[in-house]
Amino acid sequence: MNPYLPCYEYIPDGEPHEFDGRVYLYGSHDKFKGSGYCLQDYVCYSAPSNDLTDWRYEGVIYRRTDDPDNRDGRMCLYAPDVTKGPDGKYYLYYVLDLVPYVSVARCDTPCGKYEFYGYVHYKDGQRAGERPGDEALFDPGVLTEGNRTYLYTGFCMPDNESRHGAFVSVLDRDMLTIIEEPRFVLPSKPYAEGTGFEGHEYFEAPSIRKYGDLYYLIYSSVKFHELCYATSTSPLEGFKFRGVIVSNTDTGIDSYKNADTPAFYGANNHGSIIRLDSGDYVFYHRHTDGTNFSRQGCIERIRIEEDGNIPQAEMTSTGASSVNFPGKGSYPAYIACNLFCDREQTYTGDPGTFLGPEFPRITQDGVDDPKDDGYISNMVSSTTCGFKYFDLENLDTVAVWVRGFVDGDFSFRIGINGEVLGKVHIEKENYWARHEISFPPVTMKKAPLYFEYRGKGALQFLKFEL
């Protein structure tokens, strides 16, 4: 289900890589109720290549104090990437939050303890990003082919004319030395006119993959909430904008709503794609607790077509699963893929701010506590949450667990605009209380389930049972 890791785990910026029959997930590491991005050390999860629903915690692979420039731990580890070098070792590329250069750590295995290795530098030894005229390195994405490693990086606020876009450098066999000068491959907003990237200009988060004859450069656009992609037959030039792969607001999806209407509260996005024998997938992240700083990883199944086209994926609760949820059993409310109220809002707000008290959010009581279940909080009147998808057979009762000093109705329907099938009145529940909603039997394949609260106060929603 989505999120695909435990509900107390906050790993955004997901970079999935397949090594020896397993998929290893690398990303930054947020903290619930954190005061900023990426406050924790790098950890790794892995799953069998044929089952991306079976994730295993591999432990801490690198601490922020392992970098010699950060022994005091005052800087954070931003989004990393990993590649297997020509020597068979694994190389972790990352940027600390207050510096403009890329650091590299190395390990003999995909998820062992990485040791600091060095900094990406020019042939004269000067660190890339510190030379006069260099643009800052940020969000490294790497791909190794033979003895050459392609390093993509760049951070471009939409109104900053000093940043030209994403750029690529070629590294030597030592995985550190730049042997081909950086060149720009994706345009920032001030330099996108006439390029085909208009409206989806480069912001951050480059990630590179190659499938067939095409290189796929995935990135976060100036819209922040969407992951876009460009393709080329060369890793160094000729990238053409192709489209949006996923949005963490579901903007662009018109199968169940207007394409411009957000169905979740989003902000920045970062992730990548992976092609496995079991199918094609996109990894991305969603925002929780009404803030930018508590992000959770999600997966959707995608389809990479023969010509390289990738239709935009719809956000779901089922995630990597190839089948719908059964229409029986218990499901946590935090797997909601849609969450909104009558007051339309696309973003959680500027970094450091929260959604106001008039908006719902996914949250938890404790701080990164394995014993603490996530839930939907602050369900003000008109709040709607959606879960996709279920196969229903003669369903006639839904039990819900809710709490809150409220006075209102909690209703159930199938489809975002579906008829209300049943509802229950709730008032003054200070502890999680079970309520049943009954209705005429329903049998339906691929049913989207929606719950809505209308009334006084703000309800909290823990789980439901079919």
What pLDDT was estimated at residue 271? 98
What pLDDT was estimated at residue 368? 64
Question: What's the fold here for domain 15-302?
Answer: Tachylectin-2; Chain A (2.115.10)
Residue 366's pLDDT band (boundaries 50, 70, 90)? confident
Residue 227's pLDDT band (boundaries 50, 70, 90)? very high
The HSE-up count of residue 193 (CA atoms within 13 Å, CB side) is: 1
List C-alpha distances in Å: 45 to 9, 42, 104, 205, 374: 11, 10, 20, 20, 20
Determine what percent of the chain is predicted with pLDDT higher than 90.
Answer: 96
Buried b / exposed e over 43-62, threshold 16 CB at 10 Å, is: bbbbbebeebeebeebeebb
pLDDT digit string, tens, across residues 305-343 = 999 999 999 999 999 999 999 999 999 999 999 999 999
Which of 155-159, 202-206, 271-275, 372-376 has the weakest average pLDDT? 372-376
Token pair for 299? 């997966």
- 181 included as an active-site residue: no
What residue ranges do the domains of the chain occupy? Answer: 15-302, 325-465
Pairs from 364-373 (Cβ < 8 Å, separation ≥ 24): 364/7, 364/8, 364/32, 364/334, 366/8, 367/31, 367/32, 367/33, 368/8, 368/9, 368/10, 368/31, 368/32, 369/8, 370/6, 370/8, 372/8, 373/7, 373/332, 373/334, 373/462, 373/463
**Which residue out of 66, 204, 250, 452 is catalytically annotated?**
204
What pLDDT was estimated at residue 370? 66
Q: How far does CA 401 lie from the centroid of its chain? A: 28
pLDDT digit string, tens, across residues 40-79 = 999 999 999 999 999 999 999 999 999 999 999 999 999 9
Residue 367's pLDDT band (boundaries 50, 70, 90)? confident
Are 218 and 271 in contact by the 8 Å Cβ rule? The answer is: yes
What pLDDT was estimated at residue 371? 67
**Which residue out of 9, 13, 66, 67 is catalytically annotated?**
13
> What's this model's pTM, rounded to 2 decimal places?
0.97
- 13 included as an active-site residue: yes
Superfamily of domain 325-465: Galactose-binding domain-like (2.60.120.260)
**What mean pLDDT is predicted for residues 1-11?**
96
Q: Amino acid identity of 7?
A: C
pLDDT exceeds cutoff 70 at 458: yes
pLDDT digit string, tens, across residues 350-365 = 887 889 889 999 999 9
pLDDT digit string, tens, across residues 164-207 = 999 999 999 999 999 999 999 999 999 999 999 999 999 999 99
The mean of the pLDDT values for the chain is 97
- DSSP bridge pairs for 258: none
Buried b / exposed e over 404-425, threshold 16 CB at 10 Å, is: bebebebbbbbebeeeebbbbe
